[in-house]
Structure 1
Amino acid sequence: MTTAITGGYGFLGWHTACRLRAVHGTEPVRLGRADFADPAVLAQALTGVDRIVHIAGVNRAENDEAVELGNIELARTLAAAIKAAGRPMDVVFANSVQADLDNAYGRGKAAAADLIGDAVRASGGRFADLLLPNLFGEHGRPGYNSFVATFAHEVAAGRTPTVSGDREIPLLHAQGAAAALIAALGSDVREVVAAESRGIGEVLALLQRSHELYATSGEIPPLPGQFEVDLFNTYRAAAFPQMWPLSPQVHADNRGDLFETVRAHGGTGQAFVSTTNPGQVRGEHYHLHKVERFFVVKGEAEISLRRLLHDDVVSFRLSGDKPSFVDMPTLWVHNIRNVGGSELVTMFWADQLLDLDNPDQYPEKVALP
């Protein structure tokens, strides 16, 4: 079956498209603003589509009326396109927990659910209305998607955000939201997606702790649970690629050199070493959650990375003459190539113990065909 994602180029849309590709081996149809120009354009874009994840929405605008009406208009356009298709379509709506509140955003989302739900049921399809909490994750837009995105970018830039009205906020990583949306396809349900409540000040403190340890020396902060890993990966995305590569202090005497490769402050971890012959490549994959380090100990290497579903490639040259490392951001395809004339020795470190049944490793080449 073919799945379309409205808002497919936005924050949650990108995460959902990445998850469909990684976990389900599906290439979704990603729909953006141009596809909502009018119902006929959208109906044409939905040709051959069986299922829709409706994520497109308006979070912020010049005034409250624009927020409310913007969400209603997007839903009205989608509803008209579903009716024009004249066949059953299953739809999952990325709604908000605010849909039950009397504010502009909530009213807009609630009205959107009614419009889309009526159109889907009239077509003979199934409609899942998922109420999502506050979302965070890699590559969120500061000042738009969430306070976590704003904090992560500010902290990564060396600035100190302020907290006003500190309180606990239900938070869910975007990959968790994507998993829930995908799982709900084909069902008739209205439910609130579970989240983990964290204080605003607590989130800022965790990000600042990560920055203090990581930004200059690459020390891994305490990662006792999945929330901390997800928040750290959000910070790492905001800091990439500016902070790389890093080189540790080398202690040398008549016996040779000594340097640290990883200093972790808590959580699991696993390290291994590889040799790579001249011209050969390792990697060519990406991760959804794993923190991974490539440390070049000996030889000449080029590390290349490409953000999933994007085209631009970022590359770093590293040499064993100056031992250094780069950490792989989540949802970036990466590889390491021996570009020297002798053996390349690389140490790899990850925060996860290898689980052969669930390795969090998805094959893809950095270079596009």
Structure 2
Amino acid sequence: MNILITGSKGFVGQNLIAELKNRKYEHIFEYHRETEPELLEEYCQKADFVFHLAGVNRPKDQAEFMDVNYGLTETLLEKMKKYNNKSPIVISSSTHAAFESSYGISKRASEDLLFDYSKQTGAIVHIYRFPNIFGKWCKPNYNSAVATFCHNIANGLPITVNDPSVEMSLIYIDDVVEELLQALNGKPTQAGEYCEVSTIHKITLGEIADLIYSFKNSREERSIPVLSDALTKKLYSTYLSYLPESQFSYELKMNVDSRGSFTEFIKTPDRGQVSINVSKPGITKGNHWHHTKNEKFLVVSGKGVIRFRKIDSEQVIEYFVSGDKLEVVDIPVGYTHNIENLGDTDLVTVMWANEYFDPKKPDTYYLEV
């Protein structure tokens, strides 16, 4: 299948092309501002499917709205007619097409061209009136508040929120691409005469700003957000894509003593805490028990033994562990426990607890195994 994509270097175009290549589509005609205009002739002759994504929404001159948004659409359809190419066409319009701004008028005029073209030729057209799209590779300080907030906050720059109560309708780029691929396969999500991305998120500008600031602060707090919320998960992924390349890494506070070290890695409000414990050869750590806090130990390097004793029993239970054989050991409540390094190298253990450590309520009681 030959797939023509106009606006191939734009935000949606880049993401769509990346996923098309992931799915082994090989014949992609990319058309953008730097493409030789003559190539559009060839592409319109050979295309089996068209994604018309090109357009402007922040021109220097208002006249560019019609010149580009309407003009390029008109040129595209004329060339398709010239070669009697009735391939399906998807166009990315905007919810602004319902309003009387210069941008909205140009988008609505382009939609009307498509509807007329379909009636004249019988070609299938799918018109998507997208609301605000966010995700990786979106240009900041252009037309996306999410992209601007992510970029500025990640880079330590200020943001401006004129009215935090303004509600935004957002769609995520991966959901957009998935919907466009459904259209490619003849299964668009139809909503009357238009098509739509079914997953739309509602959130205020103030809430977006607060969330993104919390992502920045999460490094210092050693936390991750509540990713069970779909929008939070998508926004967090988007934020990370705007990190400066010199700041992909961040340090953790290592609690070091003669026995080794203990370092908190990740804290979550609903999924507990992950820490890394390093024990020197011959060292035993632990000798405590919990009422409610439960843990999982995973030794990833070295060899040792994890010992348990029910607090009202004298029987000691031993589990020998090694980085050569990865296995998880559950630490039940009501059992005092410890871990001893039996090797001659550091014993490295990944430890998960069902709740993050609260110094005011540690639920940790010293008792020798």
Q: 3-state DSSP class of the match of 1:34? A: coil
Which residue number corresponds to residue 25 of structure 1?
A: 24
Change (3 A) 1:202 1:170: same
Aligned residue runs from structure 1 range 283-294, under 5 A: none
Letter in 2 for 1:62: K
Letter in 1 for 2:182: A
**How much does 1:19 deviate?**
2.7
Residues 251-303 of structure 1 deviation map (CA, whole Å, 9 limit, x = unaligned): 222322222232334469999xxxxxxxxxxxxxxxxxxxxxxxxx98xxxxx
Which residue number corresponds to residue 127 of structure 2?
A: 129
Which residue number corresponds to residue 70 of structure 2?
A: 72
**How much does 1:182 deviate?**
2.2
Change (3 A) 1:140 1:269: farther
Q: 3-state DSSP class of the match of 2:56? A: coil
Matched residues in 2 for 1:257 and 1:270: separation?
14
Matched residues in 2 for 1:253 and 1:30: separation?
59
Is contact 2:151–2:242 with CA below 8 Å preserved after alignment? yes
Residues 33-63 of structure 1 deviation map (CA, whole Å, 9 limit, x = unaligned): 134x54x431213453201111111011113
Which residue number corresponds to residue 168 of structure 1?
A: 167
**How much does 1:177 deviate?**
1.5
**How much does 1:78 deviate?**
1.2
**How much does 1:230 deviate?**
0.8
In the alignment, structure 1 residue 48 sits paired with structure 2 residue 49: no
Matched residues in 1 for 2:94 and 2:252: separation?
45
Matched residues in 2 for 1:43 and 1:218: separation?
55
Which residue number corresponds to residue 265 of structure 2?
A: 261
**How much does 1:100 deviate?**
1.5
Matched residues in 1 for 2:97 and 2:349: separation?
51
Is 89-98 or 24-33 further displaced after alignment? Answer: 24-33
Matched residues in 2 for 1:44 and 1:225: separation?
46
Q: 3-state DSSP class of the match of 2:233? A: helix
Matched residues in 2 for 1:226 and 1:173: separation?
10
In the alignment, structure 1 residue 119 sits paired with structure 2 residue 123: no
Which residue number corresponds to residue 202 of structure 1?
A: 207
Aligned residue runs from structure 1 range 60-99, under 5 A: 60-99=58-97
Which residue number corresponds to residue 184 of structure 1?
A: 183
Is contact 1:217–1:246 with CA below 8 Å preserved after alignment? no
Which residue number corresponds to residue 237 of structure 1?
A: 241
Q: 3-state DSSP class of the match of 2:170? A: strand
Identity among equivalent positions (%) equals 27
Change (3 A) 1:76 1:233: same
Change (3 A) 1:84 1:158: same
Change (3 A) 1:45 1:87: closer
Gaps of 5+ in 1: 272-296, 299-344, 350-369
Matched residues in 1 for 2:258 and 2:177: separation?
55
Greater RCO between the two (CA within 8 Å, min separation 6)?
Answer: 1
Is contact 2:58–2:143 with CA below 8 Å preserved after alignment? no
Matched residues in 2 for 1:179 and 1:18: separation?
12
Q: 3-state DSSP class of the match of 2:128? A: strand
TM value normalised by structure 1? 0.67
TM value normalised by structure 2? 0.67
**How much does 1:95 deviate?**
1.0
Residues 97-118 of structure 1 deviation map (CA, whole Å, 9 limit, x = unaligned): 1111111111111111222343
Which residue number corresponds to residue 4 of structure 2?
A: 4
Matched residues in 2 for 1:159 and 1:51: separation?
42
In the alignment, structure 1 residue 57 sits paired with structure 2 residue 61: no
Which residue number corresponds to residue 213 of structure 1?
A: 218
Which residue number corresponds to residue 360 of structure 1?
A: none
In the alignment, structure 1 residue 159 sits paired with structure 2 residue 148: no
Letter in 2 for 1:67: F
Matched residues in 2 for 1:223 and 1:160: separation?
26
Which residue number corresponds to residue 231 of structure 2?
A: 227
Is contact 1:154–1:160 with CA below 8 Å preserved after alignment? yes
- Residue-pair matches, total: 278
Change (3 A) 1:205 1:118: same
Letter in 2 for 1:126: I
Q: 3-state DSSP class of the match of 1:261? A: strand
Matched residues in 2 for 1:228 and 1:263: separation?
16
Is contact 1:88–1:124 with CA below 8 Å preserved after alignment? yes
Is 198-207 or 142-151 further displaced after alignment? Answer: 142-151
Matched residues in 2 for 1:84 and 1:267: separation?
60
**How much does 1:226 deviate?**
1.4
Q: 3-state DSSP class of the match of 1:234? A: helix
